[in-house]
Amino acid sequence: MAHPDRFLLAGVMGWPVMHSRSPKLHTYWMEKHGLAGTYVPLAIRPEGIEAALRALPALGFAGCNLTIPHKETALRVVDHADEKARRIGAISCVTVRSDGSLAGTNNDVFGFIENHREAFPDWRADQGPVTVIGAGGAARAVVYALAEMGVREIRLSNRTGDRAERLAAELGVDCTIVDWADRHRALEGVNLLVNATSQGMVGNPPLDLNLERLPRKACVSDIVYIPGETPLLAAARARGNSTVNGLGMLLHQGRPAWRDWFGIEVQVTRELRSLIEATI
């Protein structure tokens, strides 16, 4: 039953934005909870992000999500950013406070952790090193999440080595930086491998990584979710590793946004997962 005097308003700002699954995700929750409202894709050019964010309170928006290319710039626009967002250097979510000020946070961390827990319930952070491939914006959230999960040794390898060095220094997380040429060897003895690059995503070539040294008991996580099974995940599954793609990360990052925007706890259900999977 829709609440008669409450119309929920939120959206996602990106450029481009029409590929985003977020409107489908948030509309599902509005319908599920019988709430009147809408969640819209907002195509905002890079030069327009500050004006767009500043317009949110006047338009009655509870907040918005941010996607490429706005996550870093938006951090500089908001009035408040939590420590996590500042360390990562990017925000994925803005909430309009009652005084009209804008608060930013990064929910990709929560999304990664919840997706991981759901997929690998028996995995333990103290059972070995973790190798992360990639050092872009998403990798920052992944490394932050792994440190928060209690991983003691994080091996980080990125095609552009400097970027990996900077990531570790700016996050303040102790990482072993592995030369790109040595990345295959960095799989020895690991408990988890994470692909945080865009390689393997539709339109991109597969991640060039030889899995020979990867222990068969290691879990493999790819934050890419289009396609549902990347060549990396297919190869890992074929040799007996447990795998998960990035869809759960996308779905779960929506939950804290709802808590902040509307004060409502929402769930990632099988039905929701199937609904979004059907669009991939």
Ligand X SMILES: NC(=O)c1ccc[n+]([C@@H]2O[C@H](COP(=O)([O-])OP(=O)(O)OC[C@H]3O[C@@H](n4cnc5c(N)ncnc54)[C@H](OP(=O)(O)O)[C@@H]3O)[C@@H](O)[C@H]2O)c1
Q: Report the interface residues with ligand X, using CB under 6 A.
A: 108, 111, 134-139, 158-160, 163, 197-199, 201, 223-225, 246, 249-250
Which residue has the closest beta carbon to ligand X? 136
Please identify, using beta-carbon distances, which residue of 16 and 60 lies nearer to ligand X. 16
Residue 182's CB is within 10 A of a number of other CB atoms, namely 10
CB of residue 253 to ligand X, shortest distance in Å: 6
* Angle subtended at Cα 105 by Cα 41 and Cα 125, rounded to the nearest 5 degrees: 115
CB of residue 12 to ligand X, shortest distance in Å: 12
CB of residue 180 to ligand X, shortest distance in Å: 8
Name the strands in the sheet holding 63-66, side by side, starting at the edge strand that comes first in the sequence.
Answer: 37-43, 8-14, 63-66, 93-96, 102-105, 80-81
Please identify, using beta-carbon distances, which residue of 76 and 217 lies nearer to ligand X. 76
CB of residue 27 to ligand X, shortest distance in Å: 18
Please identify, using beta-carbon distances, which residue of 72 and 79 lies nearer to ligand X. 72
Which candidate in 24, 32, 71, 217 is catalytic?
71
**Is residue 71 among the annotated active site residues?**
yes
Integer Cα distance of 261 and 226 in angstroms: 28
> Is residue 153 a contact partner of residue 129, using CB atoms and an 8 Å limit?
yes
Integer Cα distance of 118 and 185 in angstroms: 28
> Is residue 275 a contact partner of residue 23, using CB atoms and an 8 Å limit?
no
Please identify, using beta-carbon distances, which residue of 34 and 46 lies nearer to ligand X. 46
Which residues form the catalytic set?
71
